[in-house]
Structure 1
Amino acid sequence: MRYRALAASMIAILVAGQVPAQAAEAESETCATPRFSDVGWTDISATTAIAGMILKSLGYTPKIDILSVAVTYEALPRGDVDVFLGNWMPLQDPIQRPLVEAGKIDVVQTNLEGAIIGLAVPKATYDAGLKTYSDIAKFGDDLGLKIYGIEAGSSANETISKMIAGDKFGLKDFQLVESSEQAMLAQVQRAVRSEKPIVFFGWRPHPMNVNIDMEYLTNGDDVFGPNDGAAEVLTNTRPGYVEECPNVGAFLKNFVFEVEQEDVLMSYILDDGMTADAAGEKWLKENPGVIDGWLAGVTTRDGKPGADAVRQGLGL
């Protein structure tokens, strides 16, 4: 009996030791090349580049294609794309929800919370009393009756224009100033240096939140969405992908960011002129603590500890 118990224990230990390798081997060969859609937005380019770097260290050969949002949501149900890290909600709800309800795409994880879009002001302007959307009209003369937006044709500018045309918050006498993102932010920086009030369209994550001491206006009556433009970003996959590729799926479930992290990542790209890959590598080397959480329960393709492989791949 004693020998039989010992033999059973040894078998259990051997089986337990083989579990990671068996889990990796359980993935089909198609899982070796995870296919990502990058819609070209700086935040999504950065997070997708980091995902690609990590998967390479795990022995995968990720493929990243630049696709529009519309094409991405055609490609996922067809199985031409495996993963999309840029499902901004509720902004993309009209296109995403019908596909989810029809079982044509899967939602794996919320990879970013705390995102926001809406009107913002410099901190000095906020401290002076311009804190809500209803306060804008009270500062009309100091603001020159102007609200600064981004490029013509954007959904943000359309929302601001509707506010003005509908005299929402008493803004009928205001003018929307349309320009590029860079020109708008340059105007904001000039106003800050001159200690003049300004109202502009802001969003987070974005380096503006690092470079400008700013505040978002509240009590916006859901003009930019519920909770004053609060947003989150979801990870989507083609249907059944996580079940088919459980090791990659485990990583995708763990792969989450904080807005402060993406603010910095985007700053490396937009302010320092780095590529998404270079920015991702720099940020990972500065923040190696994220690796253990992201790689919890994840192995390399051949069943070895994932976190160790990623550290080795990054030279950490």
Structure 2
Amino acid sequence: MEKRLMRLMVMVFFLLTIIMGSKAFASKEVRFVYVPWTCVTVKTEVAEFILDNLGYRASSMMLSVPIAYQALATDEADVFLGNWMPTMSGIATPHFESGRVIQMDPIMENAKYTLAVPRYVNEGGLQHFEDIAKFADKLDYKIYGIEEGNDGNEVIEMMIAENMFGLGDFDIIPSSETGMLSQVQSYTRNNQWIVFLGWSPHWMNNIIDMEYLKGSDETTFGENDGTATVYINVRNGFADDHPMVNSFLENY
């Protein structure tokens, strides 16, 4: 983390030095897209703030994951800082393969994105995807997700549609990051049972005594129980149009 911060500071200084000597950069626009997750929102706001203060015209749009990729692919946006893989593979990979969207080097490895439960639920026997259906009555046949169109929701919907792990009678309850976590906190205050989308790093891991379920593989949230890698994506041609910003993103 310290090395990455140092590289970022050096790159900002380098960009500032170049831009102060050339007004040509000041007229360039950089358009971010982001999804309503705390981690992606904060990263986008910080990058936007830095570029604004370096003389760029930075802007951002909050979109669903599929629409964000459509915007990148059709040159309506430039940068997306929240490509969580492998769960976004179904949405993102066709755009990578077409060459319209470029996946840069990883900015975070060994993250996690999968189903989670409060610790008391885990200790009560729900520790694996295969255990969810065993406790259907306690869970009211519900799995809690976040916003519509989210890749995690799509994985849950697929698991239900294909009756994976006996989940055919379950429903997904879509919400928002804030709405879902408020529901989880409400349930935990009363020791009620709940299964929800969890990910790390995120502040939920600090305020909720929670455990991630085992059982994820390449057909669901990815191997190693939902281990994830996060990438920056840019539209095709972005590196040529904005070489300095592209270098900044490589060190972000």
Q: TM-score, normalised by structure 1?
A: 0.58
The answer (yes or no) to whether the contact 1:109–1:252 under 8 Å persists in 2 is: no
Alignment partner, residue 249 of structure 1 = 246
Q: Which residue of 1 aligns with 2:236?
A: 239
1:132 maps to which residue? 128
The structural deviation recorded for 1:214 is: 0.7
Q: Deviations over 1:241-262 (max 9, x none)?
A: 334433222210111xxxxxxx
Shift of 1:105: 2.8
Structure 2 residue 194 is the aligned partner of structure 1 residue 194: no
Name the structure with the higher strand share: 2
**Deviation readout 1:279-303 (Å, 9 max, x if unpaired):** xxxxxxxxxxxxxxxxxxxxxxxxx
> How far, CA to CA, are the matches of 1:77 and 1:28 in structure 2?
29
1:55 is displaced (CA, Å) by 1.9
Q: Counterparts in 2 of 1:33-182, with a 5 A limit?
A: 33-42=28-37, 43-67=39-63, 69-70=65-66, 72-77=68-73, 79-140=75-136, 143-150=138-145, 156=152, 159-160=155-156, 162-164=158-160, 166-171=162-167, 175-176=170-171, 178=173, 180-181=175-176, 182=178
Residues 98/56 of structure 1: CA separation in 2 closer, same or farther (3 Å cut): same
* Partner deviation per Cα, 1:115-164 (whole Å, 9 max, x = no partner): 433321112222343221123344455x2553332369656556445545
Cα distance in 2 for partners of 1:246, 1:152 equals: 34
SS of the residue corresponding to residue 236 of structure 1 reads: strand
Q: Which runs of 5+ in 1 are unaligned?
A: 1-19, 256-316
Q: Secondary structure at the match of 2:57?
A: coil
User: Residues 32 and 189 of structure 1: is their aligned pair in 2 closer, same or farther, counting only changes over 3 Å?
Assistant: same
Alignment partners' CA distance in 2, 1:97 and 1:76: 13
Pairwise CA distance, 1:219: 1.4
Give the match's secondary structure for 2:191.
coil
Larger Rg: 1
Normalization by structure 2: what TM-score? 0.70
- 1:211-246 CA deviation, whole Å, 9 max, x = no partner? 211111011344533223333332122334334433
CA contact (8 A) 1:33 1:63 kept: no
Task: Provide runs of 4+ in structure 1 moved above 6 Å.
Answer: 25-28
Give the Cα–Cα distance (whole angstroms) in 2 for the partners of residues 30 and 78 of structure 1. Answer: 23
CA 160–103 in structure 1, closer or farther in 2 if over 3 Å, else same: closer
Structure 1 residue 24 and structure 2 residue 21: aligned? Answer: no
CA displacement, residues 33-67 of structure 1 (integer Å, 9 cap, x when unaligned): 34122234233322111001122333433233445
- RMSD of aligned residue pairs (Cα, Å): 3.6
**Alpha-carbon spacing, 1:27–1:108, altered in 2? closer, same or farther (3 Å):** farther
Q: How far apart in 1 are the matches of 2:72 and 2:23?
A: 18
Q: For the structure 1 residues 213 and 53, does the alpha-carbon distance in structure 2 shift closer, same or farther, using more than 3 Å as the test?
A: same
- Give me the whole-angstrom Cα distance separating, in 1, the residues matched to 2:70 and 2:134: 47
Distance in structure 2 (CA, Å) of the matches to 1:65 and 1:154:
16
Check the 8 A contact 2:25/2:55 in 1, yes or no. Answer: no
Per-residue CA distance 1:67-117 (angstroms, 9 max, x = gap): 555554454455443322233333433443343334333222323334433
CA distance in 2, matches of 1:183, 1:100: 32
| Unaligned ranges ≥5, structure 2 | 1-13
Cα distance in 1 between the residues matched to 2:239 and 2:28: 14
Q: Please, which moves more after superposition, 159-168 or 206-215?
A: 159-168
Quick one: percent identity of the two aligned structures?
36
The structure-2 alpha-carbon separation of the partners of 1:115 and 1:34, relative to structure 1 and needing over 3 Å to count, comes to farther
